[in-house]
Amino acid sequence: MATLCRPAVDVPEHVITMEETLELARSVHADHDQLELALRLIENTGVQKRHIIQPIEVTLRHPGFEARNATYQEAAKERVPPVILRALADADLTAADIDVIIYVSCTGFMMPSLTAWLINNLDFRSNTRQIPIAQLGCAAGGAAVNRAHDFCTAYPEANALIVSCEFCSLCYQPTDLGVGNLLSNGLFGDGVAAAVVRGQGGTGISLERNGSYLVPDTESWIMYDVRSTGFHFQLDRRVPGTMEPLAPALKEMAVQHGWDASELDFYIIHAGGPRILDDLSKFLGVPPEAFRFSRATLTEYGNIASAVVLDALRRMFDEGGAQDTARGLLAGFGPGITAEMSLGRWTTTGRPGARGGTR
């Protein structure tokens, strides 16, 4: 049974607080006719601070898409490897034991993918499979877990490495002045995360079932408008209400597995914003405390896109994990509107030595 092991997470050294975000909005957008509404929405996110890869005065400048993408590539090559090495160590594996790398990111572009550079520079085998995912946004964290589960189901002795690299600050567009854009400027943060899914052994979530669900006719609700200046984030005002149609999909997947989604032991949920968690608590019928790991990520790091679910799981590990066989749900939400969902049990079956996988 494939086991999702302890994630490693890193956030950049530059910090911007909620107070600084609000003051910036007041100074930069003093004449905006909906400034007060935007300020209230930013305050309501509950994000106390965010981490960004460049000082805020650099972030606010736009040197052009080419320069920004070069910054993305440079920062990814600098910041991703240490996180991968920690994740491998936590899973008691080495790079040579990994059979597939699933790399998710929606805030920069590389071809070949960073996976090729990682294989060449971190001693992964030359026959390591590569699965880069660039267009699932925040849902990609859940999708990466699901694709790793699928791979380890097909190859039971294989090991998968998940890597999430999100530098949302590189998508700041000073000319985008819609209320949704101003809200996004105070919500998203930067972060890198990695985790191993072991085909055999390991401590963490033993993955049992996964699924996807797309809310019909919502593909324009979260999207990029790609222009010469880069990625322009588009956010529909109806997005915060999407838990009402998505909660039934979570319930149905649990029913198919013989479980009740309202009676699980732990929940690792993508925290796109506080209403996502509040509504999911309401529609699943679980106490707000059930989402404490996700809420902590939102409060301390902001929305770090696909890395949220891995950081929330890391916080669960930090709390001591769960009792053996405890049942749980992991879910990421993003463009589409898409949900990537998985069910599993906590396992503490030990951490045996490295396995060769599918070499």
pLDDT at 225 over 50: yes
Beta-sheet strands, E only, within the chain: 3-4, 8-10, 14-17, 49-52, 100-104, 129-133, 159-167, 190-198, 203-218, 222-227, 230-235, 266-269, 327-334, 336-348
CATH of residue 276's domain is: 3.40.47.10
In whole angstroms, give the CA distance from residue 347 to residue 29.
50
What mean pLDDT is predicted for residues 132-157? 96
pLDDT averaged over the chain?
Answer: 93
Closest alpha carbon to 21 in 59, 65, 73, 53: 59
- Cis, bond preceding 337 (omega within 30 deg of 0): yes
Q: How many helices (H) and strands (E) does the chain have?
A: 11, 14
Residue 359 domain-assigned (yes or no): no
User: Cis peptide before 248, with omega less than 30 degrees from 0?
Assistant: no
Q: What is the pLDDT of residue 352?
A: 41
284 phi-psi bin (left φ>0, alpha ψ -120 to 50, beta other): alpha
β pairing state of 14-17 and 327-334: unpaired
Residue 236 resides in a domain = yes
In the predicted structure, residue 1 carries a pLDDT above the cut 90 = no
Same domain for 296 and 285, yes or no, is yes
Write down the catalytic residue from 5, 106, 138, 168.
Answer: 138
Q: Look at residue 127 and tell me if it is in a domain.
A: yes
pLDDT value of residue 176: 84
Predicted confidence (pLDDT) per residue in 267-293, tens digit: 999 988 888 999 999 999 999 999 999
Strands 327-334 and 266-269: parallel
- Length of the chain (residues): 359
- Percentage above 90 pLDDT, the chain: 79
pLDDT > 60? residue 122? yes
Are 77 and 185 within one domain? yes
59-90: pLDDT as tens digits: 999 999 999 999 999 999 999 999 999 999 99
Residue 355 pLDDT exceeds 60: no
**Residue 197 near residue 162 (C-beta atoms within 8 A):** yes
Contacting residues for 202 by C-beta, under 8 A, at least 6 apart? 3, 5, 91, 92, 196, 347, 349, 351
How many domains, the chain?
A: 2
Where a domain ends, among 184, 201, 218? 201
159 alpha-carbon distance from chain centroid? 20
Output the pTM of the full model.
Answer: 0.93
One domain for residues 250 and 197: no
Catalytic site residue 138?
yes
pLDDT of 353 reads 39
pLDDT tens-digit map of 332-341: 999 999 999 9
Domain that holds residue 241: 204-348
